[in-house]
Amino acid sequence: VVDTKVDLADAMVQQGFNDALVDEVLVTLEPVRAEVLCRSRDVYKTAEIKNGKSLLDRFGGDLNLETIVNSMYDRCTQDSRVQFHFEQAVAKQRQMRRRMYQYLSGAFGGPVQYEVSQLRPVHFTMNITDYHFDVVADCFCDTAREMGVQEDVVKEAQEVINRVRADVTTGCTVRMELAKAKTEEEGVN
């Protein structure tokens, strides 16, 4: 995982700022870092209730969410940027669609049917980058818009989806950082 605190600290030191100021800036920014990056880590928090309705209700309910997930999945199988993650045997496709729906249903305020703690181990070996995550999230949001979901509801859904970004992309990020460190240490052949 790229540590933005270290990058900021290095940049400040290179610009001649003293260590005390660097530490003070890092401590001051830490509480808002996740929000600035639009990457809230509160993956267990469900979407807000607005006007007495959960995000799931504002999406049109379970059936509408399930339809959006299935349409999004179909879109992903046609998108050359991510199709290799989605082109699976029929039984595996059904399982992936069901689990995605189950996670989103719970995250959007419906009954919790999928344990969030399973996201990281399940995705760890899949080499999913932030780029791939963004493509899938965009496919979901585009599908929701086409199905008539209001823009403010789509944006809120995207915020909820972004909460699990690190859980989905960590495996690839760890391997890339290890490879980078090894290359820096050993040099390029």
pLDDT for res 5: 44
State the Cα torsion 51-55-167-7 to the nearest 10°. Answer: -50
Tokens 């990058």, located at residue = 7
Residue spans of alpha helices (H) in 52-147: 55-58, 62-78, 83-86, 90-107, 119-123, 130-146
The predicted-structure confidence for 142-177, as pLDDT tens digits, reads as follows 999 999 999 999 999 999 999 898 889 888 777 787
- pTM, two decimal places: 0.72
- For residue 78, what pLDDT is reported? 95
Nearest of 68, 67, 87 to residue 77 by alpha carbon: 87
User: Mean pLDDT for the chain?
Assistant: 84
Show the low-confidence residues of the chain (pLDDT under 50).
Answer: 1-5
